[in-house]
Amino acid sequence: MRPALPRRADVFLSPHYQVGAWFHTAQSIVLRHEPIRYGDETNCTEQIIHDLTRCVLHPAVSHVGFASLAVPTYRASTIKYEDAQSFAERWHRGFDGYTYGLHGTPTTRTLEGQISELHGGIRTILVPSGQAAITFTMLPFLRPGDRVLIPDHVYGPVRQFCCDYLAPRGIEHTVYDPMIGSRIGDVITGGTKLVWIESPGTGTMEVQDVPAIIRAAKAKGALVGCDNTWATPLLFKPLAHGADFAVEALSKYVGGHSDLLLGSITVGDIELHRQIKLVVHHIGVAVSPDEVSLALRGIETMGVRVAHAGRVSVAFAERMQRFAVVERVLHPALPSCPGHEFWKRDFSGSAGLFSVVLKPEVAAQLGPAMKALKLFAIGASWGGTRSLIAPMVVKAHRTAVPWPHDGTILRISIGLEDPDDLWNELESLLRTLESGLTS
């Protein structure tokens, strides 16, 4: 049986209400069908609010007794200000304040703070992709006449950015031997403003002597940025070794489900943060809070996913060395990988991405053999739940030092499928290629 309707005074005094429905409070059960009236309980001055306004204004509800483990997803373009003066003075809030949705919400700040803590940095900037993270690390600090050094195994679009965007604007680049170590000091000229590191290279897996490169660069007054996507901050922390920028493609292990695009730049110097934020702000770059929410979900399981993929990748890499069709296995955890000694010294574990160099004689059989794959998806990226495989040819792209192998590289990313199922498919692929090799 419905309770009696409350007196009008009860409506004003009840701290909870819901339009057009029963709503239970400790004091009363309120039913409202008529227009909402706002007013003072003493003089009962009223302002009637009609349905069209009800559609726009959301009722305030109590959060007492509610606490979620999930980070709320705040979607916003407009940010509401308390008064006209607050709006007029909004730019005084700085980069850590909230001024407009383009420049951040509590959702983005949460992920930025979490990544900063993992890297041991003081600020993180989120951008729409890993490539954007690299370019927004370069743009604020390079001027016409400056030079950036990039390793020969660098992510392909970075080399293209240097050639197609920076070079026409008078900014030069030098490609260096990834294994150069402390000898990079001989390559750094007076105009060198930034030295870029990618360790390991996410195709050839060459592990760089990061501390030695950083020391040499600092001695010459150059900034140092490191693409740390393979390792994540769980396995390697570039800032702890003296790098100025730790860059990651969060699309990989942080997202973890192959369904988002994000990048991050973490710094240990507030002035570097300010300069990057200025450029990001002026260009008008933002990230979607929904993408960030997916990353916040993914980062919670990143530790167990990276550990699992790392264990399986090492086991597979060791087994694959025994196949006649395999010329070389490139996995940082194996002595056969260039820079293995640096991985052993500097990294706390292995990730799930590695490469295998096939003998050139099987090039013609590779495409047909890969059509039989059911579990391994053929595609770019890595770090998701699905295992991936991608054929790569790097020899033609090396310019600083020749790549010693003629065969195709198979880059393999281990996902979360049953390891026995994955191995059976990899073994079948290699056996098929071996049959073509012997025939």
Dump pLDDT digits (tens) for 241-294: 999 999 999 999 999 999 999 999 999 999 999 999 999 999 999 999 999 999
User: Higher model confidence: residue 217 or residue 39?
Assistant: 217
Q: At what angle do helices 419-438 and 302-320 cross, to 10 degrees?
A: 30
* Residue 45 pLDDT class (50, 70, 90 cuts): low
- Three-state DSSP at 328 gives strand
Q: Supply the mean pLDDT for the chain.
A: 91
- Distance between CA 423 and CA 419 in Å, rounded? 6
The answer to whether 150 and 157 have CB atoms below 8 angstroms apart is no
Q: Where in the chain is the domain with CATH 3.40.640.10?
A: 84-300
Give ∠ CA 273-211-134 in degrees, rounded to 5.
40
Q: Which two tokens stand for residue 251?
A: 């699309």
pLDDT value at position 27?
41
pLDDT over 90 at 342, yes or no: yes
- How confident is the model at residue 439, as a pLDDT? 61
Long-range (24+ apart) CB contacts under 8 A made by 158-167 are 158/131, 158/134, 158/196, 158/198, 159/397, 161/131, 161/134, 161/135, 165/135, 166/138, 166/142
Domain boundaries for CATH 3.90.1150.10 within the chain: 303-438
pLDDT in tens, 190-249: 999 999 999 999 899 999 999 999 999 999 999 999 999 999 999 999 999 999 999 999
Instruction: Give the tens place of pLDDT for each residue, 147-193.
Output: 999 999 999 999 999 999 999 999 999 999 999 999 999 999 999 99
**Is pLDDT above 50 for 28?**
no
Tokens of 28: 């009363």
Q: How far is CA 423 from the centre of its chain?
A: 28
Question: According to the CATH classification, is domain 303-438 in 3.30.1300.10?
Answer: no
Mean pLDDT of 97-101: 92
Quickly name the fold that domain 84-300 has. Aspartate Aminotransferase; domain 2 (3.40.640)
List of residues 6+ apart from 391 with CB closer than 8 A:
366, 370, 378, 408, 409, 410, 411
CA 93 vs CA 277, 283, 413: distances in Å: 14, 20, 43
The whole-number pLDDT of residue 35 equals: 55
φ, ψ dihedrals at 419, nearest 5°: -55, -35
